[in-house]
Structure 1
């Protein structure tokens, strides 16, 4: 199985498609917030809120909550690549050697940022799962069979 088909299967798995959509929906809001404050600032608030909603939706299935939070966090964290591009372009202005260092550090930054976004997503989804077990919120998630 090709890597692209595995990624596509992971993104659009039947059980977690709501988390995928919440992750994609958080991207424009994160970009808008970052445009307001500048490219060197990245805010996890929108990603955290989207993962909280995913945790609330999947609150009656504990294993799905963690995966949904991770998926929402990683997909919602994709705007962190914007900061990486800024580092690479500033390196090209100095010299090709600095550009190579910029690419290396940008890839490290992107991996770190996606890991942090995934962690924030899992924690937020766990909080959403706890909130989802409170009686007024029990009817929000999908029904278990």
Structure 2
């Protein structure tokens, strides 16, 4: 398909107007937040781009298009194409500002690499906005109360299987006290390990737990928003289960900053891990106590 024709079709598609406008609206914010004056003797290629406006643009578009006929992925792509004006402006302006301090050979190299750098910047921008739009679409869809309850008659195509996301929550609930307890013993009881192997093992275990906690939070959200029978008697309050660990991180972080901790972010992570473990236990107990039937088919899996 002709790329120019695809571009013309997209610009003429009224359903994409909101996505394009959001992308364009993010441009001045991205440019202002990314702009960093270049010193006269500095050699800078491209500069750096602030990603927050792009993230917010993608999330907004994903939310807006979650219940529309236009495909969210397509809307996210067009948002990124419009928003990519910002990284192009930042790259060109920053590179031009530093050309005066470059040798002729370096100047030629900078100009030659510009098309590649710009294509890369546009590609990354489109990727960011599209991924954020798809995430917002999934979250919005799963939070829709009408989709979270299903008819108990079994006419919705349910195949008799339940959600398996809770298994990740259960695995985290088992692993967290083991890893955190081991870390506490190593650093608080034994102090700094005398053998490098113990330190490496502790670091790997802690990093692994932090990474898996992300999986656990996603699993907690997915399982809590899985469709349930209308007469099940329990519709989990998603933001309570997902919000408690995040709130714990913020509170512990602020407290650590207030008492002058050398690593407030690390303290916040520990608070988050402990809170996630506690809320996971609460969720699993409630899930078991209510014994509801979960129907993933109603949300496509």
Fold match (TM-score > 0.5): yes
Distance 1:16 1:30 in 2: 21
Partner of 1:104: 112
| Equivalent runs, 1:1-145 vs 2, <5 Å | 7-35=7-35, 38=36, 40-61=47-68, 64-81=71-88, 82-91=90-99, 93-133=101-141, 134-135=143-144
Deviations 1:16-73 (A, max 9, x none): 11100000011111112113xx162211111111111111111125861001111112
Mapped contact 1:52–1:125 kept (Cα < 8 A) = yes
Distance 1:108 1:130 in 2: 33
Distance 2:118 2:69 in 1: 29
Distance 1:105 1:4 in 2: 24
- Which structure would you say has the larger Rg? 2
Distance 1:98 1:12 in 2: 42
Mapped contact 1:12–1:20 kept (Cα < 8 A) = no
Distance 2:104 2:10 in 1: 37
- Specify which structure has the bigger relative contact order, considering alpha-carbon pairs within 8 angstroms and separated by 6 or more residues: 1
Partner of 1:143: none
TM-aligned CA deviation for residue 93 of structure 1: 4.4
TM-aligned CA deviation for residue 11 of structure 1: 2.6
Distance 1:135 1:23 in 2: 26
- After TM superposition, the score normalised by the length of structure 1 is 0.77
TM-aligned CA deviation for residue 92 of structure 1: 5.1
More helix by share: 1
Deviations 1:93-115 (A, max 9, x none): 43443322111222211111111
| Gaps in structure 2 of 5+ consecutive residues | 38-46, 148-301
Q: Which runs of 4+ in 1 moved over 6 A?
A: 2-5
TM-aligned CA deviation for residue 8 of structure 1: 4.1
Please give the root-mean-square deviation of Cα atoms over the aligned residues, in Å. Answer: 2.6
